[in-house]
């Protein structure tokens, strides 16, 4: 081994610059697509692919796996604000508060969320990734992209085959919605209920999403409690409620909606909260040990591994100060309520961040809207029904912050799998993440003022219907009228805490998430778990690692990238 080598590239000026460019572009584009289509996309996959494309051609060691890992981390750190902002801030415009709040304050609220998310989740890396070994299926898929240059041909082929199959499948499923007159090639879901002679109160529906099945494949046995939660919710509790006569007056699809929105979903939110709280209590010794190792600021191979404690404490105080300023100066709250709002909002954000990161780590699904709903409920309870602006600000902070927690932990999982230093990834996040809220909120403001007379640029009836924000508007209006299922939240929290005492990792969060989601998602995921278990028994553990993992990663990537392409196609068509 004689050759001269420049230092191995990881955290570089080029990685920061490329992250910034890709991240800003994705954040603005996904905010726009979120207003149009009602969903946003994660940025890590695209960041990884573009990172190679931007850096690798320049040679001389540029575009190393770890440098591209930094690009993907930084780009998604900027982009992550788009999901939280597009769900919340436009609701203020749609509710007629356009002239009654400062855009800067909205940016401050979202920025405080992203910084607090970073501060909260950084010290939990060891716990979630090293101790609990959460799978983060999308994180694993991104690691597969990063490792492609060095993988053996058979693994690369499996990844490619998974990607291709999933892409073709996704196109077939979405074909009907792409243009008027297109035939239905594949339905979005298969409902076996009518075939089995079951009523609408028993959901035997499977979503035709290979990404969903692949997430279950990667989770294997550990994901079974999630499927069990769906069975409990939709095959036991829902029919029970029907036969007890609790759904009287609701027929057909209306009964399914009633069971879901009035019974299972609010109960599921409570179970999620209780499960997460008890999970923290039960794993406290391991969390404490992880914190102790942070204090020692572990170093390996000549550099720092973990974020220093001062970084976390400073970040937390700074973000709480921003949240306070957003309420005090931006929403005209008196000093006391502004302080209370910042403290309660910050505490809820921390818990919501842990819940969302855990749920994403176990299943690849984020219960972000449920967390925003609780945030809004808490704020209206504290501040009164008139305080809609600060309520939405806190909702935005929680959405952005909790998304940040899940995104960061997913990127740290990817980093672990390619050998990145966690501290370098955290530093990249810190340097770039505050830019995202300004881009996302700025894009929303520009699009709003692009309407006739400088207002009304999005909302129902326009080409940007903002469906998520419109849904939040309806929810907040319901909360203002006192339509809050406290009973479900409270009993669900107790139940979630108690279920977590069972000796199965993460069971409280998984059962809660299963009740919170429609059956079709959970049951498809369960199919993936069963496939993984069966293959493990027939072909052995090595087969899962060598064959199933790259194939499942390909399925996830194929659907994600095709969804992005089809979104762009739809936007171009409507533009």
Partner 1 sequence: MNDDRDLFTGIPFLKPLPDLPVFLLCLTSLAGAAFFAMQVPATEPAVVLPSAALAIATGLLGLELRFRKRAGGPGKEGTPEETLDIHSVPAHISETCLALVERLEEAEEGEAREEIKKALDEIQIGALDPVIERRAAIIHQFGMVAFARFMSAFSRGERLLHRAWSALTDGHEPEASRSLRAAAAAFAEVPPLHEPNRQRG
Nearest CA to 528 out of 222, 233, 235, 272 is that of: 222
Helix (H, G, I), strand (E, B) or coil at 504: coil
Helix (H, G, I), strand (E, B) or coil at 384: coil
31-39, 457-465, 493-501, 524-532 -> range binding partner 1 (CB under 8 A): 493-501
Question: Which residues in 305-344 contact partner 1 (CB under 8 A)?
Answer: 305
Question: Which residues in 105-164 contact partner 1 (CB under 8 A)?
Answer: 126, 129-131, 133, 146-147, 149-150
Structure tokens at 502: 């069972």
Question: Which residues in 368-397 contact partner 1 (CB under 8 A)?
Answer: none
Question: Which residues in 3-32 contact partner 1 (CB under 8 A)?
Answer: 3, 5, 8
47-55, 72-80, 85-93, 282-290 -> range binding partner 1 (CB under 8 A): 282-290
Interaction mask 241-260, partner 1, x per CB under 8 A: x----x--------------
Place of tokens 């400073």: 314
Asked if 60 touches partner 1 (CB under 8 A), the answer is no
Sole binder of partner 1 in the list 178, 179, 184, 236 (CB under 8 A): 236
Asked if 298 touches partner 1 (CB under 8 A), the answer is yes
60-68, 159-167, 323-331, 448-456 -> range binding partner 1 (CB under 8 A): 60-68
Q: Residue 540's Cα: distance from chain center in Å? A: 32
Asked if 572 touches partner 1 (CB under 8 A), the answer is no
The tally of CA atoms less than 13 A away on the side-chain side of residue 170 is 25
Long-range contacts of 104-108 (CB under 8 A, 24+ apart): 104/330, 105/325, 105/326, 105/329, 105/330, 105/331, 105/393, 106/326, 106/330, 106/393, 106/396, 106/441, 107/437, 107/438, 107/441, 107/442, 108/322, 108/323, 108/325, 108/326, 108/330
Rounded Cα distance between 118 and 114, Å, is: 6
Helix (H, G, I), strand (E, B) or coil at 198: coil
Helix (H) or strand (E) holding 51: helix 44-55
In terms of CB distance, is 100 or 154 closer to partner 1?
154
In terms of CB distance, is 164 or 248 closer to partner 1?
248
CB of 413 to partner 1, least distance (A): 11
Q: Tell me if 67 sits within 8 A of 50, measured CB to CB.
A: no
Asked if 302 touches partner 1 (CB under 8 A), the answer is yes
Q: Tell me if 525 sits within 8 A of 216, measured CB to CB.
A: yes
Sole binder of partner 1 in the list 300, 461, 481, 573 (CB under 8 A): 300
Sole binder of partner 1 in the list 187, 194, 384, 419 (CB under 8 A): 419
In terms of CB distance, is 218 or 566 closer to partner 1?
218
Task: Please name the residues in contact with 310: beta carbons below 8 A apart, sequence gap of 6 or more.
Answer: none
Sole binder of partner 1 in the list 546, 547, 570, 571 (CB under 8 A): 546
Question: Which residues in 66-95 contact partner 1 (CB under 8 A)?
Answer: 66
Nearest CA to 558 out of 71, 44, 149, 159 is that of: 159
Rounded Cα distance between 230 and 127, Å, is: 27
User: What φ, ψ does residue 61 adopt, rounded to 5°?
Assistant: 85, -5
Asked if 49 touches partner 1 (CB under 8 A), the answer is no
Asked if 187 touches partner 1 (CB under 8 A), the answer is no
Burial of 449 (0-12, 13-18, 19+ CB in 10 A): middle
Q: Tell me if 79 sits within 8 A of 463, measured CB to CB.
A: no
CB of 490 to partner 1, least distance (A): 8
CB of 372 to partner 1, least distance (A): 22
Sole binder of partner 1 in the list 252, 503, 573, 575 (CB under 8 A): 503
Structure tokens at 515: 């009740």
Asked if 420 touches partner 1 (CB under 8 A), the answer is yes
Asked if 65 touches partner 1 (CB under 8 A), the answer is yes
Rounded Cα distance between 98 and 114, Å, is: 23
Length in residues, the chain: 575
The distance in angstroms from the start CA to the end CA of the chain is 57
Sole binder of partner 1 in the list 45, 256, 369, 500 (CB under 8 A): 500
Rounded Cα distance between 376 and 272, Å, is: 17
Sole binder of partner 1 in the list 16, 171, 289, 530 (CB under 8 A): 289
Rounded Cα distance between 16 and 74, Å, is: 7
Asked if 478 touches partner 1 (CB under 8 A), the answer is no
The number of residues that bind partner 1 (CB under 8 A) is 65
Helix (H, G, I), strand (E, B) or coil at 569: helix
16-24, 90-98, 382-390, 500-508 -> range binding partner 1 (CB under 8 A): 500-508
Helix (H) or strand (E) holding 304: strand 303-304
CB of 147 to partner 1, least distance (A): 7
Question: Under the rule (CB under 8 A), what is the footprint of partner 1?
Answer: 1-3, 5, 8, 61, 64-66, 126, 129-131, 133, 146-147, 149-150, 232-233, 236-237, 240-241, 246, 262-264, 267, 283, 285-286, 289-290, 293, 298, 300-302, 305, 416-420, 485, 487-488, 491-492, 494-495, 497-503, 505, 515, 541-542, 545-546
């Amino acid at each position: 081994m004689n050759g001269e080598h420049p230092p191995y590239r990881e955290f570089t000026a080029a990685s920061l610059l490329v992250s910034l460019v890709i991240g800003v572009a994705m954040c603005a584009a996904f905010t726009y697509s979120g207003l149009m289509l009602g969903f946003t996309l994660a940025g890590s996959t695209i960041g990884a692919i573009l990172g190679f494309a931007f850096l690798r051609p320049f040679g001389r060691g540029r575009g190393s796996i770890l440098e591209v890992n930094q690009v993907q981390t930084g780009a998604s750190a900027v982009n992550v604000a788009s999901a939280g902002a597009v769900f919340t801030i436009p609701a203020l415009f749609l509710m007629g508060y356009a002239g009654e709040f400062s855009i800067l304050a909205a940016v401050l609220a979202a920025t405080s969320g992203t910084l607090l998310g970073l501060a909260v989740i950084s010290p939990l890396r060891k716990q979630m990734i090293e101790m609990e070994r959460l799978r983060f299926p999308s994180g694993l898929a991104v690691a597969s992209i990063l490792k492609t240059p060095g993988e053996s041909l058979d693994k690369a082929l499996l990844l490619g085959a998974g990607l291709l199959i999933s892409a073709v499948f996704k196109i077939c499923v979405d074909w009907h919605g792409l243009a008027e007159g297109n035939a239905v090639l594949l339905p979005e879901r298969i409902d076996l209920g009518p075939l089995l002679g079951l009523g609408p109160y028993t959901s035997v529906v499977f979503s035709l999403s290979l990404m969903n099945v692949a997430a279950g494949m990667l989770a294997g046995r550990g994901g079974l409690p999630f499927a069990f939660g769906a069975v409990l919710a939709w095959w036991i509790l829902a029919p029970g409620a029907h036969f007890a006569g609790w759904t009287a007056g609701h027929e057909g699809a209306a009964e399914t909606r009633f069971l879901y929105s009035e019974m299972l979903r609010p109960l599921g939110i409570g179970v999620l909260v209780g499960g997460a709280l008890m999970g923290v209590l039960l794993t406290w010794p391991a969390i404490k040990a992880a914190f102790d190792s942070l204090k020692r600021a572990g170093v390996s191979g000549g550099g720092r591994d973990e974020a220093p404690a001062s970084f976390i404490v400073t970040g937390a105080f700074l973000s709480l100060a921003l949240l306070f300023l957003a309420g005090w100066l931006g929403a005209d709250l008196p000093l006391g309520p502004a302080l209370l709002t910042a403290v309660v909002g910050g505490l809820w954000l921390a818990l919501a961040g842990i819940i969302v990161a855990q749920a994403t780590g176990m299943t690849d699904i984020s219960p972000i809207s449920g967390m925003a709903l609780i945030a809004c409920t808490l704020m209206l309870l504290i501040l009164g029904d008139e305080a809609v602006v600060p309520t939405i600000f806190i909702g935005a902070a929680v959405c952005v912050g909790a998304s940040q927690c899940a995104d960061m932990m997913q990127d740290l999982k990817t980093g672990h799998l390619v050998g990145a230093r966690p501290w370098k990834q955290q530093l990249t996040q810190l340097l770039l993440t505050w830019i995202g809220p300004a881009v996302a909120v700025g894009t929303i403001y520009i699009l709003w003022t692009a309407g006739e007379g400088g207002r009304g640029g999005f909302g129902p009836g326009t080409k940007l219907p903002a469906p998520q924000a419109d849904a939040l508007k309806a929810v907040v209006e319901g909360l203002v009228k006192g339509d809050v299922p406290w009973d479900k939240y409270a009993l669900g929290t107790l139940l979630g805490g108690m279920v977590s005492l069972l000796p199965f990792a993460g069971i409280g969060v998984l059962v809660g998430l299963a009740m919170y989601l429609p059956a079709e998602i959970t049951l498809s995921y369960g199919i993936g778990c069963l496939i993984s278990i069966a293959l493990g028994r027939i072909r052995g553990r090595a087969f899962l690692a060598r064959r199933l993992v790259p194939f499942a990663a390909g399925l996830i990537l194929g659907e994600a990238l095709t969804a992005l392409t089809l979104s762009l196609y739809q936007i171009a068509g409507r533009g």
